[in-house]
Structure formats: structure tokens, C-alpha cells
């Protein structure tokens, strides 16, 4: 049985609690297009895009387009549970300890001085968004991202989950060797009471060197309907035991090998369900978890690089309207790559080769020392620059792409403190070259844990947002966003998108998407960053 983190509603005099909408929202929008009720925020939003057609002579015709949408946001903040697959791993134990420490406002001593609990590294909890311009001073007004919409606070999350290891969370935390001993001592009592639920284990999908951990298993070594139903029951029991309104599930477990896409097996929802019932050997544990969550109506996020969302799983999510998102937490080296390559190409500089090497000593590194599992990670890391290259036809001819190699080595001595070395080799003006080398030491789980929190908070928020085209007033009901949550792309290396929709990896575009969808929900236009108030002579100026 999972014994959850003891939950207390968070209330700092203004933020939302698990009991309903915020008692004091940080801002309201003064607009005829926005209305507030006790239960909802309703907004009418004009979405402006540009449609482009190419003429016979190769020229382009750009036509501005406008579509008016109605958005509806449920203001009641629910009581939410986060269930992690691989709860006893480095990420699961670290994020659980971090939430306990933040909830209790803990401080602890280190050799570098006193440290205090925080949510640094979380976009929702640690970053701000420009609300607008101060009417008097013309200076930007920035607010915490978490306060744009009535969101769940991570201190209020109930944490539980599954693991193939029977260690309690305190012992898992010690095994991970991520946190300071002084902090571990402060949270040990609560962590020791948390024991993961048994998980499923299909040996062919993870490295053989993980077998010694597998002592907390649901019987059976291949996919079956019984596994799906057991996971669904676990979610139901967890939800009932903790009086939860919603449960979000995340895969934080080992990287699996890629599953082969086989017609008649995992290519459609119907075939996938039949393949699970028949015990087909090409159905992975993560796909079984995804199917169970979809059928149960619990959003499922894949934080590892394998192809959990085979075509049949995506189709099943669309049929049931259950949110899914993935793949692979974007925490350190890849996040740097998606920002730097975007910068170089936007500056008119042409990267011609990218060499990425890293070594790490945690269990993720141990699992990735197996070639099949490494291949999954190699794919998720390698595709991260594709959309940026494709966007610049001045620098790159059709089909041209930088040489790109990814190397990962397991080095036990460095533990969770991953060493990443990247070299970017680029062509510059008049046949010259530029080489940029970056050596990045990143504590893997301390970067990934805030992403786990963000993914839960944003996914939950999306379950309370609905939309419809204003032209359909009275003709159709509000509906949810597409079941594939591409809005999560900022936190993920290899974003999954709906069929036919281009993948965006450029970090600035991903952040802009997240920001502007939140703004649209309260009837605010995107921030253009034109700052005309500072550039045109006849506009009022800031005093002094």
C-alpha cells in the first residue's frame, strides 16, 4: 500500500488552496472580453495568424487571418495526486523529499553554509511572466508564472506510485545519493513511511543490469489485460484513499528500448488492446501504463525517451479524450543545445557539426550502458535541432543537416553529477569558422525534479481549460485541447505532437507558446516586445 505524503492545503494569503479558487488573485483583467464568476474565468480572444501561399513564379502572398475563440477556465483548484512510475528512483525520491522540504519550510546546513527549500528550476514556481507595462512609469510589470491562472501549488500534491524495487523512499533516497545528509535527516521519518506499489517488469525492455532491483513485482513478464486492470485499480484506490479530485501519472522509471511498430499489433487502438490481451512481446511496460491511464481517464506523461506512445496509444487517447505528453525530461545538456543552436541559426551563423558527450554514474547511466536502451536516448537527443535547421533555408539547403553525434558513458564515481561536453562547429563570414565548447556539470535529478512538478501542474491546469470558436456560439459545446499535450514541449526533449503537426524544439518558441496560451485564457494578447512606448517620440515617457 502507498502511504502518501501528508497533505496540507497551501495558503500564503493569496495563492490558491486545494479547497477552491484563490481568496486573493494577484490580478484581474479589465476588459469587456473577460468575465469572472465564482467558478469560472471566461474570455473572448482574437487569435491572429498569417496564411502564406506561393505563386507560380515562386513568390509568396501573405494574408493576415483572425479567428475568435471563447475560453473557459475552471477557477476551483482541485486536490491532486501525482503517481510516479519508478517512484523509488533518483527522480522520484528527490522530488518527494523536495516537496516535503518546501511544505515544511526546511533549512539545513551544508559545507557551503545554510540552504533553504525552494522550487528553483521550476518554470511555474521559479520564473515570471510579463503582465504588461506600468501605466505611470512605463516599466515592465512581471508576475510569478504560477499566478497567471489559478493553479495547484506543489506543496499540496499527494505523492505516490509504483517501483520494481521494494525499498521505502528513505532507503531509495540514500541509494540515490543526491541530497545533502543534513536534509535527508530532516525528511527521513516521513520518507521511511512511503513504500511503492509493486510494478510490472518485462526484462527484454530494460538493461539486464537492472534485474537485481526487481523484487517488488506484479506477477507476469509480458503484457496482459490483468496488468492494465491492476494499474487502473491502483489509481482508483490511491484516489479514493486520499480523497483526490484528480490523479496525474508520470513515467520516471528506466529508459526502455524502442518498441517496434508492427501493423496489426500497435498501429491502432483496437490492435493495441488486442495485442495486450494476447501478451504480444512487443508491448512495453510504459505502453501498458499509458493504456491503463488512458482508460482510467488519468493523464499520463512519459519522462523517458522510449516510444511509449505508439500509434495505437495515441489513437486510444484521442478516443477517450485523456491527455498524454512526452517524451523525455529536458533538463540539462539538451536544453542548452536547443537554446544555443536556436541562437546561432537566428544570428545567421551556420552550425555544421554538433558533438555531445556526457558521462554519469547514477542508475540511469547504468541502464543506458546497454546499447538498446542507449539508442532510445540517442534518438531523443539527436532530433532536438531539426526544426531550427529546417526553418532557415538561407543557411541550409533542403535535406542538409549538421553532423550530430551523441555519446553517453557510465562512470559510477561521479554519481548523479553528470558531466556534459558539447562542441559546436559553425561556418561564419567569408569561409571562417567558429568553435564553441561548453563543459556543463549538472546534478541530474535536481534539474529533472522541478520538471516533474511543472509537468503535473501544467497538465492539471489544462484539464480545467476549455475552448470553442466564437462563430459556433450556441451551436457547439466547449471542448478540451487535443489529447496530445504539445504545450508541455518546453519540459521535454522529444515532444510528441498530434499527427500532421510539426514538432517544435526551439526553446524560445516553446516558452512563448506556454506563456501565450496562459495569457489567452485571461483575454490578454501575446506580448510583442515591440516596446513602442519607448521608441516613438510622441508617446509619454517615463519620469526623469
Would 430 be classed as within a structural domain?
Answer: yes
Same structural domain, 345 and 292: no
Domain that holds residue 374: 333-444
Q: What is the mean pLDDT of residues 263-288?
A: 97
Domain boundary among the residues 444, 475, 494 is at: 444
Same structural domain, 384 and 307: no
Q: What is the pLDDT of residues 369-393, one digit of tens each?
A: 677 776 766 676 677 888 899 999 9
Classify the phi-psi angles of 254: left when phi > 0, otherwise alpha if psi is within -120 to 50, otherwise beta.
beta
Report, in this order, helix, strand and coil percent for the chain, each rounded to 5: 35, 25, 40
Would 48 be classed as within a structural domain?
Answer: no
Same structural domain, 183 and 254: yes
The catalytic residues are 328, 377, 418, 493
Identify the helix (H) or strand (E) that includes residue 108.
strand 107-110
Cβ neighbours around 158 below 10 Å, total? 23
Domain boundary among the residues 420, 444, 468 is at: 444
Identify the helix (H) or strand (E) that includes residue 69.
strand 60-74
Average pLDDT of the chain, as a whole number: 90
Q: What is the pLDDT of residues 308-365, one digit of tens each?
A: 999 999 999 999 999 999 888 998 788 889 899 999 999 999 999 999 998 887 877 7
Q: How many domains, the chain?
A: 2
Burial readout 4-27 (b: 16 or more C-beta within 10 A, e: otherwise): bbebeebbeeebbbbeebbeebee
Would 2 be classed as within a structural domain?
Answer: no
Would 454 be classed as within a structural domain?
Answer: yes
Q: What is the mean pLDDT of residues 27-41?
A: 95
Identify the helix (H) or strand (E) that includes residue 122.
none
Instruction: State how beta strands 34-36 and 350-360 pair.
Output: unpaired
pTM of the model: 0.90
Same structural domain, 322 and 337: no
The domain that holds 300 is classified in CATH as 3.40.50.720
Q: What is the DSSP string of 393-428?
A: TTT--TT---EEEEEEEE-GGGTTEEEEEEEEEEE-
Same structural domain, 309 and 451: yes
Q: CB-hemisphere CA count at 13 Å for 52?
A: 4
Which range has highest mean pLDDT (161-165, 334-338, 502-506)? 161-165
519 pLDDT exceeds 70? yes
Instruction: State how beta strands 417-427 and 433-443 pair.
Output: antiparallel
Would 380 be classed as within a structural domain?
Answer: yes
Our CA angle for 330, 513, 132, nearest 5°, is 120
Amino acid at each position: 500500500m502507498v502511504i502518501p505524503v501528508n497533505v496540507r492545503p497551501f495558503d500564503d494569503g493569496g495563492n490558491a488552496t486545494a479547497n477552491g479558487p484563490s481568496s486573493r488573485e494577484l490580478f484581474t483583467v479589465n476588459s469587456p472580453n473577460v468575465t469572472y464568476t465564482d467558478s469560472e474565468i471566461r474570455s473572448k480572444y482574437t487569435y491572429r495568424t498569417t496564411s502564406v501561399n506561393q505563386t507560380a513564379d515562386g513568390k509568396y502572398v501573405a494574408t493576415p487571418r483572425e479567428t475568435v475563440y471563447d475560453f473557459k477556465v475552471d477557477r476551483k483548484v482541485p486536490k491532486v495526486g501525482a503517481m510516479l512510475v519508478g517512484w523509488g528512483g533518483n527522480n522520484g525520491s528527490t522530488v518527494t523529499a523536495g516537496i516535503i522540504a518546501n511544505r515544511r519550510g526546511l533549512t539545513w546546513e551544508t559545507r557551503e553554509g545554510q540552504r533553504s527549500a525552494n522550487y528553483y528550476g521550476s518554470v511555474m514556481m521559479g520564473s515570471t511572466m510579463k503582465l504588461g507595462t506600468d501605466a505611470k512609469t512605463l516599466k515592465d510589470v512581471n508576475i510569478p508564472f504560477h499566478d497567471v491562472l489559478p493553479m495547484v501549488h506543489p506543496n499540496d500534491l499527494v505523492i505516490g506510485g509504483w517501483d520494481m524495487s521494494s525499498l521505502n523512499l528513505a532507503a531509495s533516497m540514500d541509494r540515490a545519493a543526491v541530497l545533502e545528509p543534513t536534509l535527508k535527516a530532516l525528511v527521513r521519518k516521513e520518507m521511511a513511511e512511503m513504500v511503492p506499489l509493486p510494478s510490472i517488469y518485462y526484462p527484454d525492455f530494460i538493461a539486464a543490469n537492472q534485474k537485481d532491483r526487481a523484487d517488488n513485482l506484479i506477477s507476469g513478464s509480458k503484457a496482459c489485460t490483468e496488468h492494465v486492470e491492476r494499474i487502473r485499480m491502483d489509481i482508483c484506490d490511491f484516489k479514493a484513499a486520499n480523497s483526490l479530485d484528480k490523479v496525474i501519472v508520470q513515467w520516471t522509471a528506466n529508459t526502455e528500448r524502442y518498441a517496434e511498430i508492427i501493423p496489426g499489433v500497435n498501429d491502432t487502438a483496437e490492435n493495441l488492446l488486442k495485442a495486450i490481451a494476447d501478451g504480444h512481446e512487443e508491448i512495453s511496460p510504459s505502453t501498458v501504463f499509458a493504456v491503463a491511464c488512458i482508460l482510467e481517464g488519468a493523464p499520463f506523461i512519459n519522462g523517458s525517451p522510449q516510444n511509449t506512445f505508439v500509434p495505437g496509444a495515441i489513437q486510444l487517447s484521442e478516443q477517450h479524450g485523456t491527455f498524454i505528453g512526452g517524451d523525455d525530461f529536458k533538463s540539462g545538456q539538451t536544453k542548452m543545445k536547443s537554446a544555443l543552436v536556436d541562437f546561432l541559426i537566428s544570428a545567421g551563423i551556420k552550425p555544421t557539426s554538433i558533438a555531445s558527450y556526457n558521462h554519469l554514474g547514477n542508475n540511469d547511466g547504468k541502464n543506458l550502458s546497454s546499447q538498446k536502451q542507449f539508442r532510445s536516448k540517442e534518438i531523443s537527443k539527436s532530433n532536438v535541432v531539426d526544426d531550427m535547421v529546417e526553418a532557415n533555408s538561407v543557411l541550409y539547403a533542403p535535406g542538409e543537416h549538421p553532423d550530430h553525434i551523441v555519446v553517453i558513458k557510465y562512470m559510477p564515481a561521479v554519481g548523479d553529477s553528470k558531466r556534459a561536453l558539447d562542441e559546436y562547429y559553425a561556418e561564419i563570414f567569408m569561409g571562417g569558422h567558429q568553435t564553441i565548447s561548453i563543459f556543463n556539470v549538472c546534478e541530474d535529478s535536481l534539474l529533472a525534479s522541478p520538471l516533474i512538478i511543472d509537468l503535473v501542474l501544467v497538465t492539471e491546469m489544462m484539464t480545467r481549460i476549455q475552448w470553442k470558436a466564437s462563430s459556433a456560439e450556441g451551436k457547439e459545446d466547449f471542448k478540451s485541447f487535443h489529447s496530445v499535450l504539445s504545450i508541455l514541449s518546453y519540459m521535454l526533449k522529444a515532444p510528441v505532437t498530434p499527427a500532421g503537426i510539426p514538432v517544435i524544439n526551439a526553446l524560445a518558441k516553446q516558452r512563448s507558446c506556454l506563456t501565450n496560451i496562459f495569457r489567452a485564457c485571461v483575454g490578454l494578447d501575446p506580448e510583442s516586445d515591440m516596446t513602442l512606448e519607448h521608441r516613438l517620440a510622441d508617446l509619454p515617457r517615463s519620469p526623469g
